[in-house]
Structure 1
């Protein structure tokens, strides 16, 4: 049994940010709102777009087996499909022999009638079941092979007596009277010779036993598949490719293997296929393979396919793939904020963001009079340009609709099919192509595709108009149409008003309420459900609320209240609290408010965050006011996630007595100083207590209210001019430093339960790391940077009032440590050198030298004072032994 402690949010993290896990599936990175599988000919499902597997859909769809269908017809449809499949593939040879002797109890065989009426078919099946375990080519291990296969698939065709087997199959072929059974024996002869690597004999067997029958049922194409394999073995690649191509066209169950077997790695191979293609179907299939094999911008090949046959099912496959490829760039599960340049501010990033319909205008040369005209137009004009950085509820519908951060929009990314090429936004060309094709083809697929591409292009009114005009009896088409009508209605809404929230609740409440997202088709506990239509709608509303400045609703569309522990930003927390306290929430807001119910006492949770922030700012009186309202606090919400391989369970963390839970059980060592810097060591090892005899109100174990009260008393005492005031100032300085990102107790005021490393303890983060919505909120881990000057100011007063030289040395070292924190903050904000820069090493050396110079010139004030005035103290000598950098600094000339 494995047990891991997580936050209450971590389970949702698995479904939102799968890339962070060891297992990763690119098909989980988009919503699949256009269902590719609505194509009518399901035998082409494997060739729809997927980046996760070689072929699409095996986990959900079974391709019909034409071999089973042929047998079903042969037996006069006495058996249904599944019964026929069991007869051919599952019923053991012993049952067939018993049936032959007239004593079988198998109900499927009983439905066939007597053996005498089916003797040729039954005798063939007995022979086929005998041969089947051996029907694979003998694998010859290369001496340089990486894998060891000694006991893998021990049976192969070479274990059968060659002459005896060929003789038996030939005799059975000659004795068979039914041409279909003859054809199957011919197939076995070709296959056996292929798998024993008797390639010339396989080619001869096809010519002698298969072709003369002039039957083109499924066994013929299975035999042709074996012939092509033998031709490949004879290095007759041109003939092999053509025969595999014919199998690809005609055999539903062999289509994938035929595609894999074709060697179409150069233009000459494709030209040969095209030259041999005579019928429109063959030509279209050749274009299809060419487009499929090099799929980046499919339009050129689709145009050629359209010229041959606009009703081609392969053309619909290509269109579905094209739409799916675009959808992956438009409807992303997560729009990362890192797409913009590293050193731009959030405002700069927003103002430079562009979409396919909001491209930056080309630069033009303005005349002198143009400049004068523009100056006065800007000075007196009332028209205001839209700014992506503007987020409030007073924007016009026009401004909201034109906001470049309004999702969905196109984002370029590396194509999974070819890492050297980037994806191409061919949406406008695809729209024109579909408009042209739908006028030629009666299939409603093209109208649906046209409406969907217009939806991606944000032409919602035209998309809705097309959808309303479609008449179809196809249930898959109808489901797609209804989904798209809903998407258009929601996504096209300029502003999410209370009136529209009422519409959302009445028509679509089920999409926004909590649902069981477990995918029943997946049994592996480490596979997670694919993003759904519901998830997409939540993202859209989260984005709309974000642009409208309604941060609380935007946040709660994708997050639980407990997630605020990861980025306890006071402004966002206040927005969420205001929503929580909002009276008379409408029905849709009550749905959203369900995400507030995972922290126990919500008032305590909010006030703890506010109190912690005031403590970081040294506003101890204000912090006490908040902490006084923290009652019945059950602890920072965390859970245990347990699994033992067969089952999993989630249980809330119950804090043990004496453990820190976010509010209580704080040691008085928080006023002490480091003995050595080790966050992993027990506090009694890393920290040393100060002399607290003059401060009896400091308890050895405190909650945050008691801690704030102690700090208030210390603050009053620090206003004096005696040794007590000096010590009180030093203790406050110690606490401010010890609870900073550098301190042993750094978790105390950032909503964490221990000091283990994590994103909260970075030295710098952008104050507003969100650009589109608050999705993947936990990934940001934003905490406002420490103000190290607060600690330094208290230390300075302690230094001024202290007369003991040893104590002064200690205080100066603490001041130097806080100053070091200021340097780390400065360094973290300096741009790095990209690794792909051809002069990286030289530029990195220059950068390091500049940083070192700045550090020594601006951030070594107190180290210098300590070195110059206190090098002879015992404290300094001890610090040189425990702090390697200080020792290095003291020895420098």
Structure 2
């Protein structure tokens, strides 16, 4: 220890004082870093597979975000598959759909031309005559073998038309086209139509002509072509007919005949999955009169129900009312189930566990969730579902019973929800609905918890291993954590509640000594439950105790409590003490530099060694042989506390997280010590306090006989005074600048202050 002491109060102490931080510029501080956008935080437990009874309609109505693609096809994929399947049904059941899709959507005109050449050849098998990439294509071989010239001719023509007739975003909306070229192709389609024998190929030529007329904005011609072609074709029902209807509807709408267009779009929406989204996007009714006219065009109650289905899917729809309209015309309409699940999704987002959601304020502020009318909507839908179940006209009563139970969960009626889900259990046979029932029951069980003890912790901790569907629903851990956090707080167990909501990183940034002590006690508990182990144990079987002791020690040291800080750090195992940082707060520089590296020649200390040294220095100061020697020690202690604050290079000794933006924010909000920061929901506590440093600098000034030591100590005290103004007080005081000006003009150190401290220069000019 004698070697260490010589660094601080040897013969060169006065020189060290003269090299103290002399430049007194205001701190350079970065811009504010306030809280930004936070994604919606909620829970979802609705299984997408409960809608697989209508997997083509489900993705249009529902929103399953990242799991959507796993269960459902895109509109484009449905369109292409339906087209390929129809070619397969009409011409070649032996060819697989992939081969047909390749020829229709990938093969070039030149490849198709090769098929015609192969048809003219009489030598070898079909695959030999074809050659190239299509040699192994089953549909290509079929068409060559059976001399399907009309089909190949049509496919080549379709590829010629395609660049002129690709809809933006797969809809029937208009963009600028080469009208002259398109008109020539319309005429060519007509000529081919007249020369073709197959009614099915005739239908497709008619489609190409009508499509080209639509995209070239020849709307009257579209209607003319539809009226001309369709009566002349004898064909079985085909999806191509719905494609033609779509272009007819687009022409009607462009000509102001919206009721007729809306009716056609509703028929396409139901009958043609590949164009369902296009029909919905194009559907438009502007007035009640137009709506009534559309209803009059319907030929059945089912068709009238379809119109309401389209209207129900708009963003501003009164969903329950629209469901009533659909039910009135067709109680077994398959869209009713989709609309039910859709509203369940939204109400789940609004209401599920809303009272325990830690981000509910942000959900309201940034996302408008829950909707202000969500409570009324859930009651309204509950009443309607009960009423329809009593009437016993629904297509899938088990699904509706299950929904009734979940609506009661969302409304917080847990007693009734349990009874309803029991009744649903007796009705459900489908395996996906059985899984959904099981999941809803577990959600209800978690939300119904009123207290948590060791038994509840063991049960919840084992869910991941024992509950069959747990891993399929990633929001279960979050729901459990949020529920337990609330129960722990109600039971007075704030430490567990803290770890349920926040991480160790948050505790480092904003220490809470009471929470830290409770967590340390939990780490030292002899018989921890599995759940408690999950909270405080690391992968290697050790606990977070040493981390907690390090946080506690650093925070206490920053508050100036040396003995308690030392006691906490001494409880860290000796082997681990060096792993929590090496420091030297006694290094002096001309100006503050929080991120400057220490010279290699400087001795560093772990926190135990540092605090022991500082405590010994306090003893040595009291036992010093001379006033100047004691003053030098007090000066060193003041410098240590200054450098361990926010403003010094040894800040890591007392603060485990520092943000450069905090100084500027503190200047604008005097007295603020906790600052919002991304990823830190409780904020970041900064150690701005230099009171302990000021005390030692003032003690050094009053104790010293040497005026050089006195002025250096006064100067450092003035820096503390300045920093206190930056972060604490609206009005700046200049007590120590006044002392320097009055008492120390005859010192060498005063001249350095005059030459190098602009802050002091400005003071003298006042």
TM-score by length of 2: 0.76
Alpha-carbon distance, 1:728 to partner: 2.0
Match of 2:607 in 1: 704
Match of 1:814 in 2: 716
Match of 2:591 in 1: 676
Q: 1:767 to 1:581 in 2, by over 3 A?
A: farther
Alpha-carbon distance, 1:614 to partner: 2.8
- Residue of structure 2 aligned with 1:577, choices 520, 530, 534: 520
Answer yes or no: is 1:203 the counterpart of 2:187.
Answer: no
Given that residues 312 and 319 in structure 2 are in contact (C-alpha distance below 8 angstroms), is that contact kept between their aligned partners in structure 1? yes
Alpha-carbon distance, 1:325 to partner: 2.0
- Residue of structure 1 aligned with 2:549, choices 592, 597, 607: 607
Given that residues 173 and 182 in structure 1 are in contact (C-alpha distance below 8 angstroms), is that contact kept between their aligned partners in structure 2? yes
- Residue of structure 1 aligned with 2:457, choices 501, 507, 510: 501
Answer yes or no: is 1:32 the counterpart of 2:50.
Answer: no
Given that residues 431 and 453 in structure 1 are in contact (C-alpha distance below 8 angstroms), is that contact kept between their aligned partners in structure 2? yes
Alpha-carbon distance, 1:253 to partner: 0.8
Alignment of 1:791-870 (within 5 A): 791-823=693-725, 826=728, 852=730, 855-856=731-732, 861-862=735-736, 865=739
Alpha-carbon distance, 1:29 to partner: 3.8
Matched position secondary structure for 1:549: coil
1:692-749 CA-to-partner distances (Å, cap 9, x unmatched) read xxxxxx9733222221121011211333682222222222222222212233322222
Given that residues 295 and 417 in structure 1 are in contact (C-alpha distance below 8 angstroms), is that contact kept between their aligned partners in structure 2? no
CA RMSD of aligned residues (A): 4.6
Kindly name which structure, 1 or 2, has the bigger radius of gyration based on alpha carbons: 2
Q: Distance in 2 between matches of 1:32 and 1:707?
A: 52
Answer yes or no: is 1:485 the counterpart of 2:441.
Answer: yes
Answer yes or no: is 1:135 the counterpart of 2:165.
Answer: yes
Given that residues 36 and 324 in structure 1 are in contact (C-alpha distance below 8 angstroms), is that contact kept between their aligned partners in structure 2? no
Q: Gapped runs of 5+ residues in structure 1?
A: 1-18, 140-152, 341-410, 518-529, 636-659, 685-697, 771-775, 828-851
1:385-437 CA-to-partner distances (Å, cap 9, x unmatched) read xxxxxxxxxxxxxxxxxxxxxxxxxx63555799xx96744332332233233
Match of 2:337 in 1: 316
Match of 1:438 in 2: 389
- Residue of structure 1 aligned with 2:54, choices 41, 44, 55: 41
- Residue of structure 1 aligned with 2:417, choices 460, 463, 466: 463
Match of 1:189 in 2: 209
Alpha-carbon distance, 1:211 to partner: 5.3
- Residue of structure 1 aligned with 2:480, choices 537, 560, 563: 537
Alpha-carbon distance, 1:190 to partner: 0.5
Alpha-carbon distance, 1:483 to partner: 0.9
Given that residues 630 and 700 in structure 2 are in contact (C-alpha distance below 8 angstroms), is that contact kept between their aligned partners in structure 1? yes
Answer yes or no: is 1:597 the counterpart of 2:533.
Answer: no
Given that residues 680 and 756 in structure 1 are in contact (C-alpha distance below 8 angstroms), is that contact kept between their aligned partners in structure 2? no
Answer yes or no: is 1:713 the counterpart of 2:610.
Answer: no
Match of 1:61 in 2: 72
Q: 1:583 to 1:138 in 2, by over 3 A?
A: closer
Matched position secondary structure for 2:415: helix
Q: Distance in 1 between matches of 2:369 and 2:151?
A: 46
Alpha-carbon distance, 1:88 to partner: 3.9
Alpha-carbon distance, 1:803 to partner: 4.0
Alpha-carbon distance, 1:169 to partner: 2.0
Q: Distance in 1 between matches of 2:402 and 2:691?
A: 63
Matched position secondary structure for 1:780: strand
Q: Distance in 2 between matches of 1:599 and 1:631?
A: 16
Alpha-carbon distance, 1:497 to partner: 1.6
Q: 1:314 to 1:749 in 2, by over 3 A?
A: same
Larger deviation: 574-583 or 546-555? 546-555
Match of 1:549 in 2: 492
Q: 1:505 to 1:870 in 2, by over 3 A?
A: same
Larger deviation: 613-622 or 818-827? 818-827
Matched position secondary structure for 1:545: helix
Higher helix proportion (structure 1 or 2): 2
Given that residues 266 and 279 in structure 2 are in contact (C-alpha distance below 8 angstroms), is that contact kept between their aligned partners in structure 1? yes
Match of 1:389 in 2: none
Q: Distance in 2 between matches of 1:873 and 1:807?
A: 10
Alpha-carbon distance, 1:487 to partner: 1.4
Matched position secondary structure for 1:43: coil
Given that residues 799 and 811 in structure 1 are in contact (C-alpha distance below 8 angstroms), is that contact kept between their aligned partners in structure 2? yes
Q: Distance in 1 between matches of 2:721 and 2:296?
A: 77
Alpha-carbon distance, 1:486 to partner: 1.4
1:461-500 CA-to-partner distances (Å, cap 9, x unmatched) read 3222222222223232222111111111222111122122
Q: Distance in 1 between matches of 2:764 and 2:297?
A: 84
Q: 1:603 to 1:41 in 2, by over 3 A?
A: closer
Q: Distance in 1 between matches of 2:485 and 2:763?
A: 52
Q: 1:585 to 1:544 in 2, by over 3 A?
A: same
- Residue of structure 1 aligned with 2:322, choices 291, 301, 304: 301
Match of 2:89 in 1: 73
Q: Distance in 1 between matches of 2:384 and 2:737?
A: 71
Given that residues 511 and 534 in structure 1 are in contact (C-alpha distance below 8 angstroms), is that contact kept between their aligned partners in structure 2? no
1:129-156 CA-to-partner distances (Å, cap 9, x unmatched) read 45434433799xxxxxxxxxxxxx9x97
Q: Distance in 1 between matches of 2:675 and 2:442?
A: 32
1:145-171 CA-to-partner distances (Å, cap 9, x unmatched) read xxxxxxxx9x976685743x3344223
Match of 1:735 in 2: 640
Q: 1:123 to 1:131 in 2, by over 3 A?
A: same
Q: 1:229 to 1:699 in 2, by over 3 A?
A: same
Match of 1:103 in 2: 126
Q: Gapped runs of 5+ residues in structure 2?
A: 1-33, 128-134, 170-174
Given that residues 608 and 627 in structure 1 are in contact (C-alpha distance below 8 angstroms), is that contact kept between their aligned partners in structure 2? yes
Answer yes or no: is 1:891 the counterpart of 2:765.
Answer: yes
Q: Distance in 1 between matches of 2:490 and 2:168?
A: 64
Matched position secondary structure for 2:56: helix
Q: Distance in 2 between matches of 1:542 and 1:257?
A: 47
Q: Distance in 2 between matches of 1:415 and 1:450?
A: 27
Q: Distance in 2 between matches of 1:762 and 1:138?
A: 49
Q: Distance in 1 between matches of 2:764 and 2:353?
A: 55
Answer yes or no: is 1:258 the counterpart of 2:279.
Answer: yes
Q: Distance in 2 between matches of 1:779 and 1:298?
A: 37
Given that residues 169 and 188 in structure 1 are in contact (C-alpha distance below 8 angstroms), is that contact kept between their aligned partners in structure 2? yes
Q: 1:625 to 1:604 in 2, by over 3 A?
A: same
- Residue of structure 2 aligned with 1:226, choices 226, 230, 247: 247
Given that residues 190 and 226 in structure 1 are in contact (C-alpha distance below 8 angstroms), is that contact kept between their aligned partners in structure 2? yes
1:553-603 CA-to-partner distances (Å, cap 9, x unmatched) read 444456665664344433222222222222122344444455x33898855
Given that residues 673 and 688 in structure 2 are in contact (C-alpha distance below 8 angstroms), is that contact kept between their aligned partners in structure 1? no
- Residue of structure 2 aligned with 1:427, choices 361, 366, 378: 378
Given that residues 607 and 629 in structure 1 are in contact (C-alpha distance below 8 angstroms), is that contact kept between their aligned partners in structure 2? yes
Given that residues 138 and 196 in structure 1 are in contact (C-alpha distance below 8 angstroms), is that contact kept between their aligned partners in structure 2? no
Number of matched residues? 694
Q: Distance in 2 between matches of 1:437 and 1:758?
A: 60
1:628-685 CA-to-partner distances (Å, cap 9, x unmatched) read 44447679xxxxxxxxxxxxxxxxxxxxxxxx96422x23xx225563344455567x
Alpha-carbon distance, 1:766 to partner: 8.4
Alpha-carbon distance, 1:76 to partner: 7.0
Larger deviation: 453-462 or 531-540? 531-540
Alpha-carbon distance, 1:787 to partner: 4.4
Given that residues 46 and 256 in structure 1 are in contact (C-alpha distance below 8 angstroms), is that contact kept between their aligned partners in structure 2? no
Match of 1:690 in 2: none
1:3-62 CA-to-partner distances (Å, cap 9, x unmatched) read xxxxxxxxxxxxxxxx9999x9x5x74332123563332222343355979xx9357521
Q: Distance in 1 between matches of 2:310 and 2:746?
A: 82
1:448-471 CA-to-partner distances (Å, cap 9, x unmatched) read 221112112222232222222222
